[in-house]
């Protein structure tokens, strides 16, 4: 995985991520949009055969966009952990 910053201001962040397709981006977009400090979050996969994606985050100004992104990833991570826990529990006899 490689990350390149395309644009960064006090409330906007646009990054290009090598090796992240719809799997991660769609999940992160949804998690970002849950944050009330986030004005806009979107992603684009410029070429369907290359797994390079562009993620764009714009906040309302109170929080830094990278901070919002970090929190979004953490929420996704938390969800995955919870799934793992519940899955193990469900499989126990």
Partner 1 sequence: MEIEVLEKNDVNMRLLIRGVDTPFVNALRRTVLAEVPCMAIDEVVIIENSSVLQDEIIAHRLGLIPLKTDLNGYNLPEECPCKSEFGCNLCRVSLTLDAEAKEGTRTVYSGELISENPDIVPVSDKIPIVKLVKEQKLKLEAYARLGKGKKHAKWQPVSMCTYKYYPQIKIDSKRCDACGKCVEICPRKVLTKNVNKIEVRDLIVCTLCQDCMDVCPQNPPAIDVSWDENTFIFNLESTGALPPKRIITEAIKILDKRLKEFIKHVKVKTREKS
Positions in the binding site for partner 1 (CB under 8 A): 1-5, 8, 13, 15, 17, 20-24, 26-27, 29-31, 66, 69-70, 73-74, 76-77, 79-84, 86-87, 89-91
Q: Give me the phi and psi of 32, to 5 degrees please.
A: -65, -40
> Structure tokens of 45?
């996969």
Q: Which of 15, 17, 25, 21 is nearest to 58 (CA)?
A: 15
Helix (H, G, I), strand (E, B) or coil at 46: coil
Work out how close the CB of 57 gets to partner 1 at its nearest, in angstroms, rounded to a whole number: 10
Work out how close the CB of 39 gets to partner 1 at its nearest, in angstroms, rounded to a whole number: 19
Residue closer to partner 1 by CB (options 26, 62) is 26
């Amino acid at each position: 995985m490689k990350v390149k910053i395309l644009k960064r201001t006090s409330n906007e962040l646009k990054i290009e991520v090598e090796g992240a397709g719809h799997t991660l981006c769609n999940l992160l977009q949804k998690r970002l949009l849950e944050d009330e400090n986030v004005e806009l979050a979107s992603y684009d996969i410029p070429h369907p055969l290359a797994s390079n994606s562009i993620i764009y985050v714009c906040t309302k100004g109170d929080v830094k966009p990278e901070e919002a992104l970090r929190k979004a990833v953490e929420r996704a991570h938390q969800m995955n952990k919870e799934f793992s826990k519940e899955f193990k529990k469900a499989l126990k006899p």
